Amino acid sequence: MLVFIVPLLAGILLGYFLRARKRIGLSGVTFWAIIILMCSLGFSIGSNNELLNSMPRVGLNAIIIALIAMLFSVFFVKVARKMVKVE
């Protein structure tokens, strides 16, 4: 877990101390870093037979969780809009 927290904190501190300087456009670098991470994740999933065999069960659970999250998000946005009277 420390492997993830240390770079995150280093990036936050670096951004904090360098925030007054001119910003560098990193959107292209970020896009390609995400593409490379997705490819490596796909490779690790594809090379794991046990994980591939459990994909139908995991996929169904993921779809159910995603649908429930979307439904609750829409519901709470509607409630919040009525409370704040945005409509």
Whether the CB-CB separation of 51 and 45 falls below 8 Å is answered with yes
Q: What average pLDDT does the segment 63-87 reach?
A: 91
Q: Are residues 42 and 25 in the same domain?
A: yes
Per residue in 11-35, pLDDT tens?
899 888 888 887 777 788 889 999 9
Provide, rounded to the nearest whole percent, the portion of the chain with pLDDT above 90. 48
Whether the CB-CB separation of 45 and 52 falls below 8 Å is answered with yes
Q: How many domains does the chain have?
A: 2
Q: Are residues 17 and 41 in the same domain?
A: yes
Q: Are residues 71 and 34 in the same domain?
A: no
List the domain range (segments joined by +) for residue 39. Answer: 1-48
pTM for the model stands at 0.50
Amino acid 28: pLDDT: 86
| Identity of the highest mean pLDDT range in 9-18, 24-33, 46-55, 69-78 | 69-78
On the question of pLDDT at 4 being above 80, the answer is yes
Q: Are residues 38 and 61 in the same domain?
A: no
Q: Are residues 39 and 20 in the same domain?
A: yes
Q: Are residues 42 and 62 in the same domain?
A: no
